[in-house]
């Protein structure tokens, strides 16, 4: 899959270096994937949470941060919609947030 807004990840881990390894691992997992449904994402990343048919939440850096991604399975694209702490995550509507 193609990841839209990789620079968002780079910017985030430059401010939060403890998240770099986890975000790089996530990026490489998604880049190598050819998922066609959220069920396939759940199998590849069992700790992820399906939010709806296109959005998935991933725990980052041992659960210190949360990453929300919208997937377009037809075009094989992953759009980063949100990344932040639990407190920041709790303040957004994860089904509509589009931080980037």
Residue 8 lies in a domain: yes
- pTM beyond 0.85: the answer is yes
Give the residue numbers spanning the domain of 48.
Answer: 2-90
Class of residue 43 by CB neighbours under 10 A (exposed 0-12, middle 13-18, buried 19+): exposed
Question: How much is the average pLDDT of 57-86?
Answer: 95
Residue 97 lies in a domain: no
Residue 100 lies in a domain: no
How many CB atoms sit inside 10 A of residue 42's CB?
15
Residue 51 lies in a domain: yes
pLDDT in tens, 26-53: 999 999 999 999 999 999 999 999 999 9
Q: How far is CA 19 from the centre of its chain?
A: 13
The pLDDT value given to residue 100:
64
Residue 39 lies in a domain: yes
Q: Which two tokens stand for residue 82?
A: 């949100």
Domain tally, the chain: 1
């Amino acid at each position: 899959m193609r990841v839209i807004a990789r620079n968002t990840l780079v910017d985030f881990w430059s401010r939060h270096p403890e998240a770099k390894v986890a975000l790089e691992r996530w990026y490489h997992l998604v880049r190598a994937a050819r998922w066609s449904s959220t069920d396939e994402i759940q199998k590849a990343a069992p700790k992820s949470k399906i939010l709806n048919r296109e959005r998935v939440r991933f725990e980052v850096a041992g659960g210190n941060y949360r990453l929300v991604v919208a997937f377009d399975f037809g075009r094989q694209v992953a759009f980063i919609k949100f990344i932040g702490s639990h407190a920041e995550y709790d303040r957004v509507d994860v089904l509509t947030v589009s931080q980037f």
